[in-house]
Structure 1
Amino acid sequence: MAVWMWLRCVLGPHLQRIHRSPDQSRPDGRSGRRGWNYQPRGLERHTDSILGWASALWSLSYYSSPLLLCYLYRKGWGRFRNTDYVQFITILEETKKNHTPASKKKLRCYDFDFSHWPLDFSWTEVSSPKLSKAGVSLLRPEPRLRGAADSVLHSVRTLPCHIISFVIAHTFGRRMLYPGSVGLLQKAMRPMLQQGQAKLIEEFDGQRNKLVACDGNEIDTMFVDRRRDGGQNGQTLVICCEGNAGFYEVGCMNTPLEGGYSVLGWNHPGFGGSTGVPFPQNEANAMDVVIQFAVHKLGFSLSDIVIYAWSIGGFTASWAVMSYPEIQSLVLDASFDDLLPLALKVMPDSWRPLVQHTVRQYMNLNNAAQVLKYQGPVLLIRRTRDEIITTTGPEDIMSNRGNDLLLKLLQFRYPKIMTDEGIRVVRQWLGASSPLEEASVYSGYEVDDDWCVSVLQSYQADRDVSFPWSVGEDMTLEGRRQLALFLARKYMRNFEATHCTPLPAIEFHPPWRL
Structure 2
Amino acid sequence: MAGWMWLRIFFGPNLQRIHSSPGQSRPEIYLHSPSISQGWNYQPLRLEKHTDSVIGWASVLWSLSYYSSPLLLCYLYKKGEFGLVKFVPVSQYVGTVLICLLGVVCLRGWGRWKNSEYVQFFSILEETRKNNTPSNKVRLEPLFFFPLSKAGVSLLKPESRLRGAADGVLQQVRTLPCHVISFLIAHSFGRRMLYPGSVGLLQKFMRPMLQQGQAKLIEEFNGQRNKLVACDGNEIDTMFVDRRADGRPGGSTLVICCEGNAGFYEVGCMNTPLEGGYSVLGWNHPGFGDSTGVPFPQNEANAMDVVIQFAMQKLGFQLNDIIIYAWSIGGFTASWAVMSYPELKAVVLDASFDDLLPLALKVMPASWRLRASPCGEQCLTRYFSPRYPGPVLLIRRTKDEIITTAGPEDIMSNRGNDLLLKLLQFRYPKVMADEGVRVVREWLGASNTIAEATVYSQYEVDDDWCVTVLQSYRTHNGTAFPWSVGEDMTLECRRRLALFLARKYMRNFETTHCTPLPFSEFRAPWTL
**Residue 427 of structure 2 corresponds to residue 392 of structure 1:** no
**Residue 66 of structure 2 corresponds to residue 33 of structure 1:** no
Unaligned runs of 5+ in 1: 125-130
Secondary structure (helix, strand or coil) at the match of 2:245 reads helix
Task: Give 1:235 shift.
Answer: 0.5
Q: CA 1:410/1:73 → structure 2, altered by over 3 Å: closer, same or farther?
A: closer
Q: Which shows bigger deviation, 456-465 or 300-309?
A: 456-465
Aligned residue number for residue 284 of structure 2: 267
Secondary structure (helix, strand or coil) at the match of 1:320 reads helix
Q: Percent identity?
A: 70
Q: CA 1:269/1:67 → structure 2, altered by over 3 Å: closer, same or farther?
A: closer
Equivalent in 187, 190, 197 of residue 180 of structure 1: 197
**In structure 2, C-alpha distance between the alignment counterparts of 1:512 and 1:94, rounded to whole Å:** 51
Question: CA deviation digits over 1:317-375, x for unaligned, max 9?
Answer: 0000000001000000000011112122222343234322443455x2545x42x1200
Question: CA deviation digits over 1:180-215, x for unaligned, max 9?
Answer: 111111111111111111111111111111111111
**Residue 377 of structure 2 corresponds to residue 375 of structure 1:** no
Aligned residue number for residue 465 of structure 2: 451
Task: Give 1:473 shift.
Answer: 1.1
Amino acid at match of 1:3: G
**In structure 2, C-alpha distance between the alignment counterparts of 1:162 and 1:324, rounded to whole Å:** 29
* 1:114-513 equivalence runs, <5 A: 114-118=147-151, 119-124=153-158, 131-132=159-160, 136-138=162-164, 159=177, 161-360=178-377, 362=379, 364=380, 366=382, 369-370=384-385, 372-513=386-527
Unaligned runs of 5+ in 2: 63-92
Aligned residue number for residue 3 of structure 2: 3
Residues 18, 38 of structure 1: 8 Å contact kept: yes
Residues 54, 62 of structure 1: 8 Å contact kept: no
Secondary structure (helix, strand or coil) at the match of 2:326 reads strand
**In structure 1, C-alpha distance between the alignment counterparts of 2:54 and 2:199, rounded to whole Å:** 24
Q: CA 1:492/1:366 → structure 2, altered by over 3 Å: closer, same or farther?
A: farther
Task: Give 1:420 shift.
Answer: 1.0
Aligned residue number for residue 52 of structure 2: 48
Residues 217, 274 of structure 1: 8 Å contact kept: yes
Equivalent in 137, 148, 161 of residue 104 of structure 1: 137
Aligned residue number for residue 67 of structure 2: none
Amino acid at match of 1:33: S
Q: CA 1:375/1:5 → structure 2, altered by over 3 Å: closer, same or farther?
A: same
Task: Give 1:4 shift.
Answer: 4.6
Question: CA deviation digits over 1:486-507, x for unaligned, max 9?
Answer: 1100000000000000000111
Question: CA deviation digits over 1:300-319, x for unaligned, max 9?
Answer: 11111000000000000000
Q: CA 1:11/1:114 → structure 2, altered by over 3 Å: closer, same or farther?
A: closer
Q: What count of residue pairs does the alignment treat as equivalent?
A: 493
Q: Which shows bigger deviation, 12-21 or 1-10?
A: 1-10
**Residue 93 of structure 2 corresponds to residue 92 of structure 1:** no
Aligned residue number for residue 75 of structure 2: none
**In structure 1, C-alpha distance between the alignment counterparts of 2:101 and 2:401, rounded to whole Å:** 52
Q: CA 1:244/1:495 → structure 2, altered by over 3 Å: closer, same or farther?
A: same
Secondary structure (helix, strand or coil) at the match of 1:432 reads coil
**In structure 1, C-alpha distance between the alignment counterparts of 2:254 and 2:53, rounded to whole Å:** 42
TM-score between the two structures when normalised by the length of structure 2: 0.88
Task: Give 1:96 shift.
Answer: 2.0
Aligned residue number for residue 19 of structure 2: 19
Q: CA 1:98/1:228 → structure 2, altered by over 3 Å: closer, same or farther?
A: farther
Residues 309, 333 of structure 1: 8 Å contact kept: yes
Aligned residue number for residue 127 of structure 1: none
Q: CA 1:80/1:488 → structure 2, altered by over 3 Å: closer, same or farther?
A: same
Secondary structure (helix, strand or coil) at the match of 1:292 reads helix
Secondary structure (helix, strand or coil) at the match of 2:344 reads coil
**In structure 2, C-alpha distance between the alignment counterparts of 1:350 and 1:50, rounded to whole Å:** 42
Question: CA deviation digits over 1:431-451, x for unaligned, max 9?
Answer: 001101101111111111111
Residues 382, 492 of structure 1: 8 Å contact kept: yes
Question: CA deviation digits over 1:63-86, x for unaligned, max 9?
Answer: 7537845x5554333323322212
**In structure 1, C-alpha distance between the alignment counterparts of 2:354 and 2:445, rounded to whole Å:** 18
Q: CA 1:497/1:55 → structure 2, altered by over 3 Å: closer, same or farther?
A: closer
Amino acid at match of 2:50: H
Q: CA 1:219/1:395 → structure 2, altered by over 3 Å: closer, same or farther?
A: same
Secondary structure (helix, strand or coil) at the match of 1:373 reads coil
Residues 242, 309 of structure 1: 8 Å contact kept: yes
Residues 19, 111 of structure 1: 8 Å contact kept: yes
Question: CA deviation digits over 1:367-407, x for unaligned, max 9?
Answer: 5x42x120000000000000111111100101111011111
**In structure 1, C-alpha distance between the alignment counterparts of 2:347 and 2:461, rounded to whole Å:** 26
